[in-house]
Amino acid sequence: MGLEEFWFVAIAVLFTGYFVLEGFDFGVGMLMPVFGRHADPEMGEKRRRAVLNTIGPVWDGNEVWLITAGGALFAAFPEWYATLFSGFYIPLLLILVALILRICAIEYRGKIDNPVWRRRCDLGIGIGSWVPAVLWGVAFANIVSGVAIDENKKVTAGFFDLLGPYALLGGATMALVFALHGAVFIALKTSGDVHEDAVKMAVRLSIPAVVVGGAFAVWTQLAYGTSWTWIMVALAAVSLIAVVALTARVREGWAFVFTTIAIVSVVVLLFGSLFPDVMPSTTDVAYSLTIENASSSPYTLKVMTWAAAFMTPVVVGYQAWTYWVFRKRISTTHIPDSIGLSLGRSK
């Protein structure tokens, strides 16, 4: 394996880590309003806070994978980075704005003890979770299927050209799988009534996730895949079917393992179908970006490899330690009363 191939795989690994870890973050944000429904406003608020607290210690660390993936893409394949970020400017900008909205909503939700303020923050968390989930699926579906790129390595397609049936199916797949991943994570990290509702939600989401995700995987394989990527299609299908059975039996630990395997399988399918291109051109195959014509110099790749060899174990070790420290389950009994709601009830 040459350095170009190594860094293509490394970037695939970084995006895989991002989608696995940030995937359940997005899923939690998507489902938070559902879990917050309750006849008692105070209990509804406690349920929302319990759900949000499942990702409280880890969500910002999970986003490091995206930052690292973007940095690696810029340094290892600058032509890929330039073409991708200029051609996909609008969807990537929308993802960035949504992520900023989500970050601010999470950080500032508890700063003001006011129900209206919290509802607005919850809306920001929801938007900041749904929009990136859908648009990441749309973006990667377009990367694999190819877009119009001219001889100057410039994407000539417009924003609405990126919203074809295959791309929209990719967006629906990402959203459903992330929502399922989040529901299973909530079941894994909570106890009591929230845990029971999370199990029920995971069971409901597992069927559409299997159907939509299976359709996307088969379409990807038939249109763009290679012989060995059939393994990833089969693995993703088996994993999602296993999630259906495991969630029904309240085996959330194993269910989370299999939602993780399903996400890994889909990302490997996408990158495996893409290789050795990094951005195929639908205008002329000669204009396609490949790992050879889009990569940095060998010296740059060597320096990056040594830096990655040193830093990666440190980052992974620290993040693993964080998950271990905050491994215990959360329930509404751990959430104190809201001052504003308590005063309102006393009146």
| Cis preceding-peptide flag for 298 (omega within 30 of 0) | no
Q: Does 59 fall in a domain? A: yes
The pLDDT score that the predictor gives to residue 339 is 52
pLDDT given at position 42: 83
Structural domain harbouring 20: 11-292
Identify any residues that bridge with 330 across adjacent strands, giving them in sequence order.
190
**Beta-ladder partners of 49:** none
The pLDDT tens digits for 237-274 are 999 999 988 887 878 899 999 999 999 999 999 999 99
Report yes or no on 215 lying in a domain. Answer: yes
User: How confident is the model over 40-60, as pLDDT tens digits?
Assistant: 778 888 889 999 999 988 888
Whether 144 maps to a domain, the answer reads yes
Domain presence at residue 246: yes
- Helix (H) or strand (E) run with residue 43 in it: helix 41-53
Q: Is residue 259 part of a domain?
A: yes
Residue 338: predicted pLDDT: 63
Residue 108 falls inside a structural domain = yes
303 assigned to some structural domain: no
DSSP string, 301-331: HHHHHHHHHHHHHHHHHHHHHHHHHT-S-B-
List per-block mean pLDDT (blocks of 10 residues) for the chain, which spans 347 residues.
91 95 94 84 86 90 90 93 92 95 92 88 94 96 94 89 94 96 94 90 92 95 94 94 86 92 96 94 92 92 90 87 88 69 41
What pLDDT score was predicted for residue 322? 87
Number of structural domains in the chain: 1
The residues that bridge with 147 in the sheet, in sequence order, are 281
CATH number for the domain that contains residue 183:
1.20.1630.10
User: What stretch of H or E contains 289?
Assistant: strand 289-290
Measuring CA to CA, which residue among 188, 163, 197, 181 is closest to residue 94? Answer: 163
**338 assigned to some structural domain:** no
The reported pTM is 0.91
**Contacts for 254 with CB less than 8 Å, ≥ 6 apart:** 242, 246
